[in-house]
A and B are shown apart, each in its own frame.
Chain A
């Protein structure tokens, strides 16, 4: 998928999402709230099912040690996982619609009140979903690590998947079965609270699992075909394999439906049959149910029977797309008749809300899809996309990462930090949700709109257990944060740099950075070049006051303190240009103290460093020549410039930046301006206007002198 088409897709998804949210809120306020909540629940069940099913597909592939699709089939299955955190949050919205959705909220069933009450239901389902979501996130994260990718791509048969995944995969599957059974009982079955079925949970989660397979089939057919390393897309059998899975689990779903249907039909007990009769045999719902059966089972069964059809993208894609629609209808038929028995509520409310969910789902899935067949094994790209999902969740809809984001790690230091970051965000979100839900529940249950205003409720009995719980509970969470914190702290601050580390001395001035490579005898300013893959130790010293060295992509800050040498040690992983900036307030132009780090490939770095050690360019003409470069060179040598700056072979002062290879840098003036002739001319005319308080004085140069200097400096490649 090209960058532009990704943008178009993102834009489309954003429009859909906004439309959906708008439609939902309009429907709620314009008297269509029951329909809005019905549509919300149907879509939540469907899309959350796809997202979770995808993770479970991946987990089951690990269990069977599947390597037929390389790592990319895992990426494809896990791409939907981006929706899980959002889906988890959306689940809590149901709290707001509880009275409309759950008939037993307003009319409690005495015999079931212990099971069907709001706090317990949301407690068990919310807790279960939280656990499952957290495990899934962990699982996806582990699965995207380099060792798992390596395993999935390797040909050796006996080797087992990484230990983390060997433990996580069964856990995810088992907990999925439990939690989705609960979801089926609570969010679907309890809408007809007098209907019982034990098999219903399994039927429900098998459907969700299949919908994920079908979604994979659609994506694999339209361009995200998983291709194992070393195979070409045309000859890959992975499409065939996905097709087989779709085929098989379609039958499994139908089998469970039948297993459900047969005993109910055979026993013929009224409180069991009414559920099926209303949905399958009575109008208007019966029509929809048969359509669903057609789309989910009959068509796939017939169409995918042959090998050829499974290998033909158009056929597989169409069958799976229809199947997904069928599964959506199936969820609709499961939910809605309980609340609207006689008519099929369908109109713009349902369409737009579904579109909104589709938009949200798409937005959450796109970053994960970028990993299919791309950036294979580059774990930082995976974490980046994962961080982006989180950031997106937090931040709304930015798709292109901001240049200084802390969520796109490009070094080992930054990656370890991010790993911890994501864990802590998870824990804190959990606590925030808990506190918010409890507070809101307290308000809605106990406000005087509910109770008599002058009633004096009894004091709560002191409960030692409760007080111990809310002391020990947070303490355990903190322990879970503290242990990785301490480990990461020691890991990111090694006592000694690795033996092969490249040493870079950074001397911070008010307001620019002097850069020195002591082993390479290079001196430059505001731009650091580093070779990818080699350990680096930055040694920080200050020429005046406290500054702070910060390149978010490469790791956390380290203050630059007069009288101390501080160090930052890391391995830059991914070539690219990364922005940095002084992070400790250092006076007037603190905002104007920026810099850049260029992580080069080793070959590029060698070229750069060889060039830097070369002598400064000298104008090719004799000293009397009148061309601007030569004139500028003479002017430089005679003017105040030499009292502060070094140009090897011309001047030696170190008050200001070394200009020997000035034209080779991309920025000037502490990284605030692009290095263009115009900007340089402006800087030479009046440095203080561009950078308040700059040490470089206004030299009072004539326009001609300025252009000569610009020409000369521009020649110092």
Chain B
């Protein structure tokens, strides 16, 4: 244990919590970013909670006049948006995962530390931007689900929903960047010996979560972009009179929205899967089943979005299909519940606060899951949907599931994060008040829904039989508020009257408890070598069972050979870039000039970031990533993940086009497209891919001159393609096909335009590489930079081939 002693000393010197304000602003340390996420999200948790209490006060009595209809609608919209995007996701993904994930897998940091900082600043600015709406025309007021066509400019003329659209776009980008970052981290930065089947279950749930993020958020992005164009540029993507349908929003939104439920639930399941074994003093029962069921939930969550839409009239066949897929999800979820109970069975349970909250989750989430089964049964759902029954259900899932998991994780990891214990007695008070307040608030809502009370109504008549339950819910909501106050007191007391935790206060099982509390800036003095599941437990209590570790003859945990510890240096560019994005969003609502300045700031920040390290950014990656599990560079995996996410983006746009092209009401349609001309530009783009291959080959063999030529050649062909597109667009415009003309023009310009933007970015990238090459920055050993650009370029070309085929070649084919 000599290594551990040395690391204790090191922790004293480099406690990540100590440091100047500036060092926090410019930080790229995952632990500090996690803490910033945690503090920010906690603040928004209080805001969202106060919003909820105001809602409950209004509903305490029939025909109450405490709030006006307008304010009430803003409150429930912001309550939902805040809790989902600014509290639950940031706490689970931004806070816990950011802190724990690298420690769990024995890494020094995440794969892209600066990207991590960028995610945080985008999150902060997006959140502040969203809330800034209160000081202008009023907060967003069309619900967190923002169903079209209520959100069209005609029905929501104020800036309320503008703030919402732009804010959510920023938050979405932040989340997707985090998702990409963590995916690469999990895939590529696991300590030696940490195979997939030895990862802590929390890492498993996060792996599925980030895949869901990458594949679900693009659908939301597309929905938001279309709405933004409707509101700002006068298109009619969601207006029925033009042949479009407001249902498009619902399909796109729930295609995102249902995976989103699991994005919020799975990390909580992961936390429970960590907490239950530790406090039962038994390994997680049925680890493989748990891992597979997590993956299965993630997979199935894409096939069930229709169950949010049974009332729209999709027809009994589609309804039934969605009903059955929705019910299927209950099976892997049930496996989780039973697995946790089996883990507790026969254990030695110490009922700490962390454990109590996990047990609470098992119970409360089961209730939420069971009412979910009711929603899957179409006729029942038709009675329950949009009634208070659904409010009860979703809070049993999101509070009883996610929030209980978050509280559990907070009590569990707090000693690791701060080095101090939380008070158990206050913690248990917090738990019991939460149980009473939570069930008292939300269980009666089942009855309210069964008694016919619709959601989102700011008042109700007396004599409906709803008075008593509403009053009980309101009173209980304040008990819940009190429980949060107890939590805050506990946190403050823990920070003031310090009770030192020590490295391993819970006698826990995973790697984060191996390093001191709080961990030193570099996390581990040496990268651990893992030989078993629960590696730290195996280290403390001897060898694991042979079936778990094939190479059990060696110690379960050892430190790899010492190496130079490289911690990524601070960077201010993430903050700058995020500020630029914020300016752009502000400009979209106020003045164009501001948006332009914002765009310039973004561009400058990207350039600054690219050249921040003398060797073109190479050090940031190789230094931190001491271990590369797959042997591939982080950036290469990152670009593949990015391409996966972009595929969903284009698929959503393309489906929109294909659905809408047959509903064009007036004006020119797809017949206007000129296949011969576009064939030529398609050929040009395909040729550019060939040059790209040549450029990479030249770089790889060290031929700087040809590398430069081929790069510029690729860029040149890209420019020719873009010029062709400019010609095509102008030509159409002169034929009377403006962006707003009809459904065809809107979808066509949007789809092809976004592809054009991608080509433009690719051209800029290529030119940048060529310039770097001129400056002698692109030697043979850095051919990866060209390879990354090449992957992106080929992807953009493939997208074009799909567009060309489906949009141009099959223009006359119905249903294509």
Which A residues are closer than 8 A to B by beta carbons? 391, 394-395, 398, 400-407, 416-417, 420-421, 424-425, 427-428, 431-432, 435-436, 438-439, 442-443, 446-448, 451-460, 462, 466-467, 470-471, 474-475, 478, 481-482, 485-486, 488-490, 492-493, 510, 544-546, 548, 550, 552, 555-559, 561-564, 566-567, 579, 581-592, 594, 672, 692-693
A108 and B246 alpha carbons, distance in the complex (Å) = 68
Task: Assess whether A439 is in contact with B465, with CB atoms less than 8 Å apart.
Answer: no
Given A420-B380, A485-B379, A591-B459: A585 and B147 within 8 A (CB)? yes
**Residues on A with beta carbons closer than 8 Å to the beta carbon of B342:** 460, 466
What are 9 A-B pairs at a CB distance below 8 A?
A402-B464, A417-B380, A417-B382, A436-B366, A446-B348, A486-B320, A584-B386, A592-B459, A692-B68
B113 to chain A, nearest CB (A): 37
Looking at A436, A474, A579, the one whose CB has the most chain B CB atoms below 10 A away is A474
A471 and B371 alpha carbons, distance in the complex (Å) = 19
Cβ of B450 under 8 Å from chain A: yes
Could you say which of A400, A406, A582 contacts B383, with CB atoms under 8 Å apart? A406
Q: Which 7 A-B pairs have the closest CB atoms?
A: A556-B382, A404-B452, A402-B465, A563-B240, A591-B457, A562-B240, A428-B370
Given A431-B370, A435-B341: A562 and B149 within 8 A (CB)? yes
- With A585-B150, A692-B69 given, can you name 11 additional A-B contacts, CB distance below 8 Å? A420-B377, A431-B370, A432-B366, A446-B344, A456-B541, A459-B285, A485-B379, A557-B386, A564-B313, A589-B69, A592-B459
A486 and B285 alpha carbons, distance in the complex (Å) = 35
Task: Assess whether B378 is in contact with A485, with CB atoms less than 8 Å apart.
Answer: yes
Chain B residue nearest to A470 in the complex (CB): B338
**Residues on A with beta carbons closer than 8 Å to the beta carbon of B334:** 431, 470-471, 474
**Residues on B with beta carbons closer than 8 Å to the beta carbon of A438:** 341
Could you say which of A457, A486, A556, A585 contacts B143, with CB atoms under 8 Å apart? A585
Task: Assess whether A548 is in contact with B311, with CB atoms less than 8 Å apart.
Answer: yes
> Which parts of B21-49 form the interface with A (CB within 8 Å)?
none
Cβ of B387 under 8 Å from chain A: yes
> Which parts of B112-144 form the interface with A (CB within 8 Å)?
142-143
**Residues on A with beta carbons closer than 8 Å to the beta carbon of B281:** 455-457
Which B residues are closer than 8 A to A by beta carbons? 68-70, 73, 142-143, 147, 149-150, 155-156, 239-241, 244-247, 280-283, 285-286, 289, 311-313, 315-316, 319-320, 323-324, 327-328, 330-331, 334-335, 337-338, 341-351, 359, 362-363, 366-367, 370-371, 373-374, 376-387, 446-447, 449-461, 463-466, 469, 541, 545
A30 and B459 alpha carbons, distance in the complex (Å) = 45
Task: Assess whether A582 is in contact with B341, with CB atoms less than 8 Å apart.
Answer: no
A54 and B378 alpha carbons, distance in the complex (Å) = 35
Could you say which of A405, A436, A470, A586 contacts B451, with CB atoms under 8 Å apart? A405
**Residues on A with beta carbons closer than 8 Å to the beta carbon of B387:** 406, 583
Task: Assess whether B451 is in contact with A402, with CB atoms less than 8 Å apart.
Answer: yes
Task: Assess whether A490 is in contact with B377, with CB atoms less than 8 Å apart.
Answer: no
A394 and B337 alpha carbons, distance in the complex (Å) = 24
Task: Assess whether A588 is in contact with B70, with CB atoms less than 8 Å apart.
Answer: yes
Given A424-B374, A478-B328, A488-B378: A588 and B346 within 8 A (CB)? no
A343 and B312 alpha carbons, distance in the complex (Å) = 68
Task: Assess whether B456 is in contact with A585, with CB atoms less than 8 Å apart.
Answer: yes
A6 to chain B, nearest CB (A): 17
Task: Assess whether A489 is in contact with B378, with CB atoms less than 8 Å apart.
Answer: yes
Task: Assess whether B344 is in contact with A442, with CB atoms less than 8 Å apart.
Answer: yes
Looking at A398, A556, A579, the one whose CB has the most chain B CB atoms below 10 A away is A556
Task: Assess whether B150 is in contact with A586, with CB atoms less than 8 Å apart.
Answer: yes
A548 and B370 alpha carbons, distance in the complex (Å) = 25
Task: Assess whether A443 is in contact with B349, with CB atoms less than 8 Å apart.
Answer: yes
**Residues on B with beta carbons closer than 8 Å to the beta carbon of A556:** 311, 379, 381-383
Task: Assess whether A552 is in contact with B69, with CB atoms less than 8 Å apart.
Answer: no
A255 to chain B, nearest CB (A): 47
Task: Assess whether A563 is in contact with B327, with CB atoms less than 8 Å apart.
Answer: no
Task: Assess whether A559 is in contact with B311, with CB atoms less than 8 Å apart.
Answer: yes
**Residues on B with beta carbons closer than 8 Å to the beta carbon of A583:** 311, 385-387, 454-455
Task: Assess whether B349 is in contact with A446, with CB atoms less than 8 Å apart.
Answer: yes
Looking at B240, B315, B371, B460, the one whose CB has the most chain A CB atoms below 10 A away is B240
Could you say which of B150, B377, B451, B457 contacts A424, with CB atoms under 8 Å apart? B377
Chain B residue nearest to A587 in the complex (CB): B150
Task: Assess whether A435 is in contact with B379, with CB atoms less than 8 Å apart.
Answer: no
A455 and B70 alpha carbons, distance in the complex (Å) = 59
Given A478-B331, A564-B313: A402 and B363 within 8 A (CB)? no
A19 and B347 alpha carbons, distance in the complex (Å) = 40
**Residues on B with beta carbons closer than 8 Å to the beta carbon of A431:** 334, 366, 370
A391 to chain B, nearest CB (A): 6
Task: Assess whether B363 is in contact with A435, with CB atoms less than 8 Å apart.
Answer: yes
Chain B residue nearest to A672 in the complex (CB): B461
A550 and B454 alpha carbons, distance in the complex (Å) = 9
Given A405-B465, A406-B450, A584-B147: A481 and B348 within 8 A (CB)? no
Could you say which of A395, A404, A588 contacts B464, with CB atoms under 8 Å apart? A404
Task: Assess whether A395 is in contact with B450, with CB atoms less than 8 Å apart.
Answer: yes
Looking at B142, B282, B283, B334, the one whose CB has the most chain A CB atoms below 10 A away is B334
B592 to chain A, nearest CB (A): 30
A385 to chain B, nearest CB (A): 16
Given A416-B379, A545-B246: A394 and B311 within 8 A (CB)? no
Could you say which of B143, B150, B351 contacts A545, with CB atoms under 8 Å apart? B150
Chain B residue nearest to A552 in the complex (CB): B452
**Residues on A with beta carbons closer than 8 Å to the beta carbon of B246:** 545-546, 561-563
Task: Assess whether B346 is in contact with A457, with CB atoms less than 8 Å apart.
Answer: yes
Given A395-B447, A581-B454: A424 and B373 within 8 A (CB)? yes
**Residues on A with beta carbons closer than 8 Å to the beta carbon of B351:** 443, 447-448
Given A443-B344, A561-B246: A459 and B282 within 8 A (CB)? yes
Could you say which of A417, A558, A588 contacts B69, with CB atoms under 8 Å apart? A588
Task: Assess whether A489 is in contact with B312, with CB atoms less than 8 Å apart.
Answer: no
Given A552-B452, A583-B387, A692-B69: A493 and B345 within 8 A (CB)? no
A525 to chain B, nearest CB (A): 19
Task: Assess whether A421 is in contact with B373, with CB atoms less than 8 Å apart.
Answer: no
A439 and B366 alpha carbons, distance in the complex (Å) = 11
Could you say which of B286, B348, B367, B378 contacts A456, with CB atoms under 8 Å apart? B348
**Residues on B with beta carbons closer than 8 Å to the beta carbon of A416:** 379
B143 to chain A, nearest CB (A): 5
**Residues on B with beta carbons closer than 8 Å to the beta carbon of A478:** 327-328, 330-331, 373
**Residues on B with beta carbons closer than 8 Å to the beta carbon of A692:** 68-70
A499 and B150 alpha carbons, distance in the complex (Å) = 36
Task: Assess whether A403 is in contact with B545, with CB atoms less than 8 Å apart.
Answer: no
Task: Assess whether B381 is in contact with A446, with CB atoms less than 8 Å apart.
Answer: no
**Residues on A with beta carbons closer than 8 Å to the beta carbon of B446:** 394
A442 and B345 alpha carbons, distance in the complex (Å) = 5
Given A559-B313, A563-B245, A585-B150: A460 and B452 within 8 A (CB)? no
A591 and B347 alpha carbons, distance in the complex (Å) = 52
Chain A residue nearest to B469 in the complex (CB): A395
